[in-house]
Amino acid sequence: MENRFFVDSERLSKEALEKKHRLETDPSSRKDYMEYLQGMERIESDVCKNVIDQMNSFDYMKYTARDVKAALEHETCSIEDFKALLSPAAEPFLEKMAQRARLETSKHFGNTVYLFTPLYIANYCENYCVYCGFNCYNDIKRMKLSMEQIEHEMKVISDSGMEEILILTGESRAKSDVKYIGEACKLARKYFRMVGIEIYPVNTDEYRYLRDCGADYVTVFQETYDAEKYETLHLLGHKRVWPYRFDAQERALMGGMRGVAFSALLGLSDFRKDALASALHVYYLQRKYPHAEMSLSCPRLRPIVNNDKINPLDVGEKQLCQIICAYRIFLPYVGITVSSRESAEFRNGIVKIAATKVSAGVSTGIGDHESKYTGKESDGREGDEQFEIADNRSLDKMYDDITGEGLQPVLNDYLYV
Amino acid sequence: MKEDKLIIGGREFGSRFILGSGKYSLNLIEAAIKYAGAEIITLAVRRANTKEQENILDHIPKGVTLLPNTSGARTAEEAVRIARLARELGCGDFVKIEIMRDSKYLLPDNNETVRATEMLAKEGFVVMPYMYPDIYAARDLVNAGAATVMPLAAPIGSNKGLAAKEFIQILIDEIDLPIIVDAGIGKPSQACEAMEMGAAAIMANTALATAGDIPKMAAAFRQAIEAGRSAYLAGLGRVLTRGASASDPLTGFLRD
């Protein structure tokens, strides 16, 4: 594995450093990533097998311009058509794909764009995922907000006009248990009309509990559907257990959640295969739970600028746009979220084609909304950020920009019943 | 000549265009009222529940009837709760039932819709159920106390026009309530055709919301609906089949 992610903190003890290096270099020192840990619920489901079989047999080099043209002519996009649209052969057809995607988006969503903001309430983490800023070996300022602090953050965000919130934590059951997250959801219901969560995967009964607390949309990123690659990136902790993570959305739906969101972090492995698997994960679950609402996010590892050895698997803006258009054509009814990791220019462009949801007023740090929103000097008691964002537009600015593009910003489209 | 009015729940309407919910903006509402002549405007309660929409509600003129819908409901019970909430919000007694258990095609669930209609009619609502055009379900809706029946013309947002034409015609022929065609109408010509068939009114949103010139499209819908209605009232003339008739009469063998 390339060494582009490994960072050794000076503050790690000798023992910790040794363990870290052993995990990085000696696969036999890691736990079996396919084996469930104690307490993890196992459900009967054929969704995973369906998705992975399709992914493994996906040979994107065999598709030709003819397949792409045929895919664009078909009224309903089949799985085979979708594969053609994800293939390198589709790259010269990007503009045509964008036009078709826009048509599908307008049929299902009109010209609306939904707005939301994430709220990180804790950044403790028990996992060693080599690419993540929150990983347990990384020397960052850790923080877990108290209920008073959470409420304060929510007030600041709510005062900005935001009506939908996504509550996030680092993946630590010990520091941020389900009850803590549930209490945060109860508070959120006081200030917001729609509450989603992006937390570590939990069992069905825990999803049901969180639903009763007021959350009803669950986002879990699989990071990569390539389980062998996953194993080399998630070296320690419960997140290492790949199949338990895969079934998280299904458990959430079994627990009564209204909707679920999916994603691969494109660029961790072969992005075309990951894009195929992400969409098929949605596709097969939708067939099983036709009432559920589903959405896809599209984060990517950015290609390294000025890297002269161009990696053919890097996800540039064109590739990202191709994937998003293919998602839209294959799954016209799903929401597509584009995060603030992307630039304002990219987000302005992609909402006109296929994206239906964007974040605004984003901070990935802990407890810093007041200083970021109001300019009030921070008291230094803030937790570090998970990643840097590229689009830091406030809600007001985003609202105006979207309106200026001829689209209609929507702050909420949901009613708890 | 007697004035041609649409009567729903004891209320009279001069216009037969109803603005659907979905893609909402101030421009669209203004155009629908001013140019399409809409007297009924649908409102998704789930979206009315936001700060900006409260603002939009202030712009709806008096005399325009608000028709709250129950979109987002997956069961009859959820639809009933949303309808009651709409009443509390001051939307009046009209309610359009929308119950979907399919997030892909957004097709209405007729069974749940019949149940919700019965519950809400008993509570004094003027119930306008959105349904899949099925004669049995339509009869059940009548018996459950519906004020109108609102069959879909095609999957919502599909712009496929009167894909369910034959089945809508059966409802028009067999059901004594006003049949309002909802969903799938993408062009004025399709609205006109539905009116010629005897539909009582047309509901549309996307066709207007996504038009290049919204006021112009709104006016076009008004004209199309009025033309179709006039044609229906006038009684369509005979349509001659093309080509010559057979030279030997088919009934030539009859002797007396």
Question: pLDDT digit string (tens) for B173-223?
Answer: 999 999 999 988 889 999 999 999 999 999 988 888 777 788 899 899 999
Q: Does B86 touch chain A (CB under 8 A)?
A: no
Model pLDDT, residue A308: 47
**Neighboring chain A residues of B73 at a CB cutoff of 8 Å:** 417
Q: With b meaning 16 or more CB within 10 Å and e meaning fewer, what string describes B66-84?
A: bbbbbbbbbbbebbbbbbe
**Neighboring chain B residues of A411 at a CB cutoff of 8 Å:** 50-52
Domain B6-234 has CATH 3.30.460.80: no
Residue type, A264: A
CA distance, residue B208 to nearest chain A CA (Å): 10
> Which pair of tokens denotes residue B4?
């041609």
Mutate which: B45, B52, B100, vs A, most A CBs within 10 A? B52
Of A110, A410, A414, which is closest to B206 when you measure between CB atoms?
A110
Query: Please, what is the angle between helix A317-330 and helix A271-288, to 10°?
Result: 20
Model pLDDT, residue A371: 77
When pLDDT is averaged across residues A35-46 and rounded to a whole number, the result is 93
Q: What is the CB-side half-sphere exposure of residue A306 using CA atoms within 13 A?
A: 0
Can you give the CATH number for the domain in which A24 is found?
3.20.20.70
For residue A3, tell me if it sits in a domain.
no
| pLDDT above 70 coverage of chain A, percent | 95
CA distance, residue A163 to nearest chain B CA (Å): 8
Contact state of A290 with B103 under an 8 Å Cβ cutoff: yes
The Cα A295–Cα A339 span in angstroms is: 13
CA distance, residue B78 to nearest chain A CA (Å): 6
pLDDT at B60 over 70: yes
The Cα B198–Cα B176 span in angstroms is: 12
Of B72, B100, B104, which is closest to A286 when you measure between CB atoms?
B104
CA distance, residue B38 to nearest chain A CA (Å): 20
**Neighboring chain A residues of B102 at a CB cutoff of 8 Å:** 290-291
When pLDDT is averaged across residues A17-26 and rounded to a whole number, the result is 84
Contact state of B158 with A413 under an 8 Å Cβ cutoff: no
User: According to DSSP H, which parts of A90-246 are helical?
Assistant: 94-109, 147-159, 178-191, 204-213, 227-233, 242-246
pLDDT at A47 over 90: yes
Name the active-site residue from B2, B96, B160, B216.
B96
Domain edges within chain B: 6-234
- Which residues are B12's β-sheet partners? B7
pLDDT at A309 over 60: no
Q: Does A111 touch chain B (CB under 8 A)?
A: yes
**Neighboring chain A residues of B104 at a CB cutoff of 8 Å:** 286, 290, 333
Of A193, A291, A293, which is closest to B49 when you measure between CB atoms?
A193
Q: Which of A104-118, B51-65, B122-136 has the largest mean confidence?
A: B122-136
pLDDT at A391 over 50: yes
At B54, is the secondary structure helix, strand, or coil? helix
For residue A66, tell me if it sits in a domain.
yes
Tens digits of per-residue pLDDT, B108-130?
999 999 999 999 999 999 999 99
Model pLDDT, residue A289: 94
Mean pLDDT score across all residues of chain A: 89
Tens digits of per-residue pLDDT, A249-308?
999 999 999 999 999 999 889 999 999 999 999 999 999 999 999 999 999 887 655 444
Contact state of B46 with A161 under an 8 Å Cβ cutoff: no
The Cα A378–Cα A394 span in angstroms is: 18
CA distance, residue A215 to nearest chain B CA (Å): 16
Model pLDDT, residue A306: 47
Of B24, B50, B210, which is closest to A106 when you measure between CB atoms?
B210
When pLDDT is averaged across residues A39-49 and rounded to a whole number, the result is 95
Contact state of A417 with B82 under an 8 Å Cβ cutoff: yes
Contact state of B44 with A412 under an 8 Å Cβ cutoff: no
> Which pair of tokens denotes residue B110?
């007729």
Contact state of A107 with B74 under an 8 Å Cβ cutoff: no
- Sorting pLDDT into bands at 50, 70 and 90, what band is A320? very high
Comparing CA positions, the residue from A322, A276, A261 lying closest to residue A79 is A276
Q: Are B70 and B96 in contact (CB under 8 A)?
A: yes
**Closest B-chain CA to A75:** B158
DSSP state of B147: S
The Cα B92–Cα B48 span in angstroms is: 14
Q: Does B55 touch chain A (CB under 8 A)?
A: no
> Which pair of tokens denotes residue B55?
């603002």
A167's CB contacts (< 8 A; 6+ apart) are A118, A119, A121, A181, A184, A185, A188, A195, A196, A197, A198, A199, A215
CA distance, residue B93 to nearest chain A CA (Å): 19
Comparing CA positions, the residue from A248, A212, A270, A189 lying closest to residue A45 is A248
Q: Which of residues 138-197 of B touch A (CB under 8 A)?
A: 157-159
The counts of H helices and E strands in chain A are 16, 11
Contact state of B72 with A414 under an 8 Å Cβ cutoff: yes
The Cα A327–Cα A90 span in angstroms is: 13
When pLDDT is averaged across residues A208-218 and rounded to a whole number, the result is 96
At B35, is the secondary structure helix, strand, or coil? coil
Q: Does A410 touch chain B (CB under 8 A)?
A: yes
**Residue predicted with more confidence, A308 or A323:** A323
**Closest A-chain CA to B79:** A417
**Neighboring chain B residues of A107 at a CB cutoff of 8 Å:** 157-159, 206
Size of interface A-B (CB pairs under 8 A): 69
**Neighboring chain B residues of A192 at a CB cutoff of 8 Å:** none
Dihedral pair phi/psi, residue B66, rounded to 5°: -85, 135
**Closest B-chain CA to A159:** B51
When pLDDT is averaged across residues B88-93 and rounded to a whole number, the result is 82
The Cα A84–Cα A64 span in angstroms is: 8
Model pLDDT, residue A362: 87
Q: Which of A149-153, A173-177, A399-403, B43-47 has the lowest mean pLDDT?
A: B43-47
Tens digits of per-residue pLDDT, A325-377?
999 999 999 999 998 888 889 999 999 999 999 998 888 888 888 777 777 76
Contact state of B103 with A193 under an 8 Å Cβ cutoff: no
**Neighboring chain A residues of B157 at a CB cutoff of 8 Å:** 107-108, 110
Domain count for chain A: 1
Neighbours of A348 (CB within 10 A): 20
Query: Please, what is the angle between helix B165-174 and helix B188-197, to 10°?
Result: 40
Model pLDDT, residue A253: 97
The Cα A21–Cα A3 span in angstroms is: 12
Strands B201-204 and B180-182, sheet pairing: parallel
Range of the domain at A333: 14-410
Q: How much is the pTM?
A: 0.85
Model pLDDT, residue B246: 62
- Sorting pLDDT into bands at 50, 70 and 90, what band is B51? low
SS3 content of chain B, % helix, strand, coil (to 5): 40, 20, 45
A24: exposed, middle or buried (Cβ count in 10 Å: 0-12, 13-18, 19+): buried
Q: Are A204 and A41 in contact (CB under 8 A)?
A: yes
Does the active-site annotation cover B96?
Answer: yes
Contact state of B81 with A417 under an 8 Å Cβ cutoff: yes
When pLDDT is averaged across residues A148-157 and rounded to a whole number, the result is 93
For residue A141, tell me if it sits in a domain.
yes
Of B51, B104, B158, which is closest to A411 when you measure between CB atoms?
B51
When pLDDT is averaged across residues B125-136 and rounded to a whole number, the result is 96
Q: Does A412 touch chain B (CB under 8 A)?
A: yes
